[in-house]
Amino acid sequence: MTPDPRPVEGSDIEPPDVPGFRTWPGVYLFVFGWFVLVVVLLTVFTNIFS
Amino acid sequence: MNLADWVVLLGAIVGIALYGAWRTRHVRSLNTYMRGAATTGWGTIGLSVMATQASAITFLSIPGQGFESGIAFVQNYFGLPLALIVVCAVFLPMYRRLNVYTAYEFLGQRFDQKTRLLGAALFLLQRGLAAGVTIYAPAIIISTVLGWPLDAVVVFTGLLVIVYTVTGGSEAVALTHKWQMAVISTGMLTAMVVLLLRMPDGLGFTDAAHVAGALGKLHAVDFSLDPSRRYTVWTGVFGGLFLSLSYFGTDQSQVQRYIGGASVREGRLGLMFNAVLKIPMQFLILLLGALLFVFYQFAPSPVFWNQAEWRRHAEDDRFRAIEAEHRSALVESQSAIRAWLDARASDDPAREASARAAMVAASQKDGAIRAEAKSALAAADPRAKTKDSDYVFITFILTELPHGAVGLLMAVMFAAALSSTASELAALGTTATIDLWRHFRPLAAPDEARNVRVARRFTALWGLFAVAFALFARFAENLIEATNILGSIFYGVLLGLFVVAFFLRRVGGSAVFIAAVAAQALVIAMYFSLNIGYLWYNLVGCAACTGFSVALQAVLPPRAGAGGSRGARASEGRVG
pLDDT in tens, B257-279: 999 888 899 999 999 999 999 99
Q: Does B84 touch chain A (CB under 8 A)?
A: yes
Q: Does B276 touch chain A (CB under 8 A)?
A: yes
Q: With the C-alpha atoms ordered B24, B28, B33, B37, is the resulting torsion angle positive or negative?
A: negative
Mean pLDDT of B176-182: 94
Q: Which among A5, A12, A31 is the nearest to B276, CB-wise? A: A31
Q: What residues in A contact B219, CB-CB < 8 Å?
A: 46, 50
Asked whether the beta carbons of B2 and B401 are under 8 A apart, the reply is no
The number of C-beta contacts closer than 8 angstroms across A and B is 98
Asked whether the beta carbons of B264 and B96 are under 8 A apart, the reply is yes
What is the predicted pLDDT for the residue at B31? Answer: 86
Q: What is the mean pLDDT of chain A?
A: 81
Q: Is residue B115 predicted with pLDDT exceeding 50? A: yes
Yes or no, beta carbons of B268 and A24 under 8 Å apart: yes
- What 8-state DSSP symbol labels residue B538? H
Q: What percent of chain B has pLDDT over 90?
A: 56
Higher-confidence position of B414 and A8: B414
Yes or no, beta carbons of A9 and B96 under 8 Å apart: yes
State the amino acid at position B506 in one-letter form.
R
* DSSP output for B162-208: HHHHHHHHHHHHHHHHHHHHHHHHHHHHHHHHHHHHTSPTT--HHHH
Give pLDDT tens digits for B419-440. Answer: 999 999 999 999 999 999 888 8
Of B46, B52, B27, nearest to B418 by C-alpha is B52
What is the predicted pLDDT for the residue at B277? Answer: 96
CB atoms within 10 A of CB B457: 15
What is the predicted pLDDT for the residue at B569? Answer: 43
d(CA B514, CA B133): 30
Which residue of A18, A42, A48 is the best one to mutate when testing the B interface, meaning the one whose CB has the most B CBs within 10 A? A42
Q: What residues in B contact A34, CB-CB < 8 Å?
A: 81, 275-276
Q: Does A37 touch chain B (CB under 8 A)?
A: no
What is the predicted pLDDT for the residue at B242? Answer: 82
d(CA B324, CA B303): 9
For residue B483, name the pLDDT band (cuts at 50, 70, 90).
low
CB atoms within 10 A of CB B348: 12
Q: What percent of chain B has pLDDT over 70?
A: 94
- What 8-state DSSP symbol labels residue B309? H
Give pLDDT tens digits for A18-48. Answer: 888 889 999 999 999 999 999 999 999 999 9
Q: What is the mean pLDDT of chain B?
A: 87
Domain assignments of chain B as residue spans, ordered by start: 3-296+397-571, 309-384
Burial state string for B398-431 with b = 16 or more CB within 10 A and e = fewer than 16: eebbeeebbbbbbbbbbbbbbbbbbbbbbbbbbb
CB atoms within 10 A of CB A1: 15
Asked whether the beta carbons of B123 and B409 are under 8 A apart, the reply is no
Give pLDDT tens digits for A5-19. Answer: 554 454 556 788 888
Give pLDDT tens digits for B489-528. Answer: 888 898 899 999 988 888 988 899 999 999 999 998 988 8
* DSSP output for B27-80: ---HHHHHH--TT--HHHHHHHHHHHH--HHHHHHHHHHHHHH-SGGGGGGTHH
Asked whether the beta carbons of B13 and B418 are under 8 A apart, the reply is yes
* DSSP output for B499-530: HHHHH-TT--HHHHHHHHHHHHHHHHHHHHH-
For residue B474, name the pLDDT band (cuts at 50, 70, 90).
low
Contact residues for B569 (Cβ-Cβ < 8 A; gap 6+): B563
Of B239, B281, B286, B224, nearest to B72 by C-alpha is B286
Yes or no, beta carbons of B264 and A46 under 8 Å apart: no
Q: Is residue B208 predicted with pLDDT exceeding 50? A: yes
State the amino acid at position B105 in one-letter form.
E
Asked whether the beta carbons of B537 and B487 are under 8 A apart, the reply is no
pTM of the model: 0.88
**Ramachandran class of B475: left when φ > 0, alpha when ψ lies in -120 to 50, beta otherwise:** beta
State the amino acid at position B477 in one-letter form.
E
Q: What ipTM did this prediction achieve?
A: 0.85
Strand, coil or helix: A18: strand
- What 8-state DSSP symbol labels residue B391? G
Q: What residues in B contact A29, CB-CB < 8 Å?
A: none
Burial state string for B353-372 with b = 16 or more CB within 10 A and e = fewer than 16: eebbebbbebbebbeebbeb
Helix axes B113-146, B448-472, angle to 10 degrees: 50
CATH topology of domain B3-296+397-571: Sodium/glucose cotransporter (1.20.1730)
